[in-house]
């Protein structure tokens, strides 16, 4: 699965100076990423799941997920992103959606669109599903099928998109952009419009886990990134009334880091298939962090007291140049996992920031990777293929 913006931006409703207006929601958990399973029929080489995938036998049961959803809602979570792996690989997905609806949580199904029958989707709609986010690996069948590592994937995604719209559910098309599909950005926009999507998420690959492993096969050039960004910006204006375009920028070539998760432990949490609660989906790459599990503790206790959540909360943990930076509560130091991956220290400034002493090295890494042509993918897979079936 791909999750690049699990924290929704808290927006202000546009209004004239004297008219009704909105203010920012206070820092509190507003979003939860529920990674229901790591099982997935796709094998995308940039999957945001950890390299060490969890097995079905380790997954939380239905009752525990229902309890977690109710606890999250009581804590203040407003939106739940039902993800994976492929969330519909769980037989109890409708019960989980119903639990969201019952407790007032806005439910967002993040799906690859494979293996979902029309009846199954109708069941989710009836259970109160609010929104469907469907991934496309390419704008055409050849690209999608190759990147996803699955024959006929594109065709089945198109079919699911049509069902989503026929059921009256709002559709977002999600695209992860990398070397093999970056020239297709205009085609992705057309595809989303053709499918009746009201929103498209164009996320440049973020290099953790599988994507870090495949970075040399995925990294586009600076020039390609520049063209893609300009294309999106132009489309945003041109298509303003037709589709919402959300972009996740590529940070290897950036000047400022992304405000990862809008700050560690500040707005959202992530529950893994086996119940560990993480500040972000890649947090387990940071050694020494202690993650608590919903099997042992309530979501509220974990949010407040878990050592992992408190490790990089706020700004006290920061080193220079972050500590005295005017942007410290805007960028939140960037990404801890990337600081670890590139700088070798999770408390360092994210090297995506031009103020990091490692910034030039990070750009050079990207340039070097972008220059390696035709590297083969190391597709997402279990360390040894699971004996258990996919669903």
Partner 1 sequence: MTQSPLGEAPSSHVPDSAVPRLPRGVRFRRDEARGGWVLLAPERILQPDPVAVEILTRIDGAATLGAIVDSLSVAFNADRARIDADVRAFLGGLVEKGFVEFGP
Binding site for partner 1 (CB under 8 A): 5, 8-16, 19-26, 28, 30, 74-76, 78-79, 104, 106, 108, 130-131, 133, 168-170, 172, 198-199, 201, 240-241, 244, 246
Of 26 and 324, the one with the shorter C-beta distance to partner 1 is 26
Asked if residue 331 lies in contact with residue 257, where contact means CB atoms within 8 angstroms, the answer is yes
Asked if residue 234 lies in contact with residue 192, where contact means CB atoms within 8 angstroms, the answer is no
At closest approach, how far in Å is the CB of 11 from partner 1?
A: 5
C-alpha neighbours within 13 Å on the C-beta side of residue 117: 5
Of 191 and 362, the one with the shorter C-beta distance to partner 1 is 191
What is the rounded distance in angstroms from the CA atom of residue 336 to the CA atom of residue 327?
Answer: 16
Query: What residues form DSSP beta bridges with 200?
Result: 173, 245
At closest approach, how far in Å is the CB of 283 from partner 1?
A: 21
Of 108 and 224, the one with the shorter C-beta distance to partner 1 is 108
Burial of 94 (0-12, 13-18, 19+ CB in 10 A): buried
At closest approach, how far in Å is the CB of 74 from partner 1?
A: 8
Burial of 356 (0-12, 13-18, 19+ CB in 10 A): buried
3-state DSSP call for residue 269?
A: strand
What is the rounded distance in angstroms from the CA atom of residue 353 to the CA atom of residue 349?
Answer: 7
Asked if residue 151 lies in contact with residue 142, where contact means CB atoms within 8 angstroms, the answer is no
Of 10 and 375, the one with the shorter C-beta distance to partner 1 is 10
Of 14 and 287, the one with the shorter C-beta distance to partner 1 is 14
At closest approach, how far in Å is the CB of 242 from partner 1?
A: 9
With a CB cutoff of 8 Å and minimum separation 6, the contacts of 226 are: none
Of 238 and 295, the one with the shorter C-beta distance to partner 1 is 238
Structure-derived torsion over alpha carbons of residues 131, 279, 5, 272, reported in degrees to the nearest 10: -50
Question: How many other CB atoms are there within 10 angstroms of residue 289's CB atom?
Answer: 18
Of 6 and 220, the one with the shorter C-beta distance to partner 1 is 6
Of 92 and 130, the one with the shorter C-beta distance to partner 1 is 130
Structure-derived torsion over alpha carbons of residues 154, 156, 162, 165, reported in degrees to the nearest 10: -90
Of 161 and 311, the one with the shorter C-beta distance to partner 1 is 161
Report the chain's C-alpha Rg in angstroms. Answer: 20
Chain centroid to Cα 377, Å, comes to 21
Give the torsion sign (CA, 34, 81, 302, 71).
negative
At closest approach, how far in Å is the CB of 109 from partner 1?
A: 11
At closest approach, how far in Å is the CB of 285 from partner 1?
A: 25
Of 142 and 166, the one with the shorter C-beta distance to partner 1 is 166
Q: Shortest CA distance to 135 belongs to which of 108, 78, 185, 174?
A: 174
Question: How many other CB atoms are there within 10 angstroms of residue 244's CB atom?
Answer: 13
Asked if residue 45 lies in contact with residue 378, where contact means CB atoms within 8 angstroms, the answer is yes
At closest approach, how far in Å is the CB of 112 from partner 1?
A: 18
């Amino acid at each position: 699965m791909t999750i690049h913006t699990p924290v929704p931006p808290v927006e202000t409703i546009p209004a004239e100076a004297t008219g009704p207006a909105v203010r920012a929601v206070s820092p509190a958990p507003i979003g939860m990423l529920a990674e229901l399973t790591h099982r997935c029929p796709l094998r995308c080489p940039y999957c945001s799941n950890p390299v060490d995938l969890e097995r079905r036998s380790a997954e939380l049961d239905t009752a525990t997920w229902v309890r977690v959803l109710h606890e999250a809602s009581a804590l203040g979570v407003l939106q739940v992103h039902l993800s994976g792996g492929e969330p519909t690989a769980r037989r109890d997905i409708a019960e989980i959606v119903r639990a969201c609806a019952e407790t007032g949580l806005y439910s967002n199904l993040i799906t690859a669109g494979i293996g979902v029958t029309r009846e199954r989707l109708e069941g989710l709609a009836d259970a109160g599903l609010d929104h469907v986010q469907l991934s496309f690996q390419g704008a055409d069948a050849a690209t999608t099928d190759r990147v996803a590592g699955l024959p006929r994937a594109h065709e089945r995604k198109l079919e699911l998109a049509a069902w989503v719209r026929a059921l009256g559910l709002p559709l977002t098309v999600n695209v992860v952009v990398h070397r093999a599909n970056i020239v297709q950005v205009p085609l992705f926009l057309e595809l989303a419009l053709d499918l009746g999507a009201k929103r498209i998420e164009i996320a440049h690959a973020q290099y953790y886990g599988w994507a870090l492993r495949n970075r040399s096969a995925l990294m586009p050039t600076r020039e390609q990134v520049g063209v893609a960004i300009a294309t999106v910006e132009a489309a945003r204006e041109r298509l303003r009334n037709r589709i919402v375009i959300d972009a996740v920028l590529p940070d290897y070539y950036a000047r400022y880091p992304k405000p990862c998760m809008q700050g560690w432990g500040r707005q959202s949490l992530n529950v893994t298939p086996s119940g560990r609660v993480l500040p972000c989906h890649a947090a387990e790459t940071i050694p020494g962090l202690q993650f608590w599990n919903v099997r042992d503790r309530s979501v509220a206790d974990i949010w407040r007291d878990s050592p992992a959540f408190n490790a990089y909360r706020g700004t006290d943990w920061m080193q220079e140049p972050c500590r005295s930076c005017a942007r410290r509560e805007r960028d939140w130091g960037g990404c801890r996992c990337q600081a670890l991956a590139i700088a070798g220290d999770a408390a360092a400034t994210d090297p995506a920031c031009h103020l990091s002493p490692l910034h030039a090295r990070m750009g050079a890494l990207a340039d070097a990777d972008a220059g390696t042509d035709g590297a083969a993918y190391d597709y997402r897979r279990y360390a040894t293929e699971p004996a258990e079936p996919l669903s």
